[in-house]
Amino acid sequence: MANDTRARILDATAELYRRQGMAATGLKQIAAAAGAPFGSIYHHFPGGKEQISEEVIHAEGVRYGLFVGQQLADVTDIPAEIPDVFNSAARLLEETDYAEACSIETIALEVASTNERLRSATETVFSSWIDGLTQWFGQTGLPDDVCRSLALSCLTSLEGAFVLCRSLRSTEPMIAAGLAVQARTRAALSEHS
């Protein structure tokens, strides 16, 4: 039961952060969304909001990484299917009425200059995603440094597109980002063939 409450608190926090960001989310709101007594917050997370946030960052990093990783594993022709990956993200934004995007990005924007512990946690997550994308692009046979550069471009494009899509309430930036990453990948393949 205690682990269930702890898990509900983390799940509720992650959802609230995806929808409204960390700064706009209070501990009372987290407790209410988790269906947990307020006192259980400090019982399970004596470090308060900072501890909850750090654990959410790591858990969401794994969850989102697995979600995207499953999609990438199904790709058989990387250059041809890159837009499909971005189109999938666009559909998710539409399905949630642009309310949910990447919680890691949202938190990173809020804490990068104000909280070293949480900034470091987001760095860990982003680094693991970059490493995963670098390996994914490695299937093309391109040199490691080119694959890392493509991974950075892909992640930067995806995260930036999330921000623009939510602000513009349009999937156009996500579609354009996918096509840009596809073009860069094809150019790299052409240059190294």
Considering the domain boundaries, does residue 34 fall inside one?
Answer: no
In a domain, 15, yes or no: no
pTM to 2 decimal places = 0.90
Helices (H), the chain: 2-20, 27-34, 39-44, 48-73, 78-95, 103-111, 116-138, 144-168, 172-191
Q: Shortest CA distance to 189 belongs to which of 84, 88, 80?
A: 80
pLDDT under 50 in the chain at which residues?
1
Tokens found for residue 57: 């960052």
**What's the CATH number where 93 sits?**
1.10.357.10
Instruction: Write the single-letter amino acid at 14.
Output: A
Joined tokens for residue 47: 């470090």
Q: What is the pLDDT of residue 2?
A: 55
| pLDDT value of residue 101 | 78
Q: Which amino acid would we find at residue 40?
A: S
CB of 33 closer than 8 Å to CB of 16: yes
pLDDT tens string 126-178: 999 999 999 999 999 999 999 999 999 999 999 999 999 999 999 999 999 99
Tally the domains of the chain. 1
82, 185 contact by CB (below 8 A): yes
Asked whether residue 98 is domain-assigned, the answer is yes
Residue 38 counted as domain residue: no
pLDDT value of position 178: 97
What is the structure's pLDDT at 1? 47
Gap between the Cα atoms of 184 and 157, Å rounded: 11
Could you tell me the sign of the dihedral formed by the alpha carbons of 181, 186, 189, 190, in that order? negative
Residue 167 is part of which domain span?
A: 53-191
Is 102 domain-assigned? yes
Q: Establish if 159 belongs to a structural domain.
A: yes
Return the closest-CA partner of residue 123 out of 24, 57, 69, 72. Answer: 57
On whether the CB atoms of residues 91 and 134 are closer than 8 A, the answer is no
- Residue 26 domain flag: no
In angstroms and rounded to an integer, the radius of gyration of the C-alpha atoms of the chain is 18
Residue whose tokens read 């809020």: 110
Q: Is residue 171 part of a domain?
A: yes
Q: How many CB atoms lie within 10 A of CB 4?
A: 9
User: Exposed, middle or buried, 51 (CB in 10 Å: 0-12/13-18/19+)?
Assistant: middle
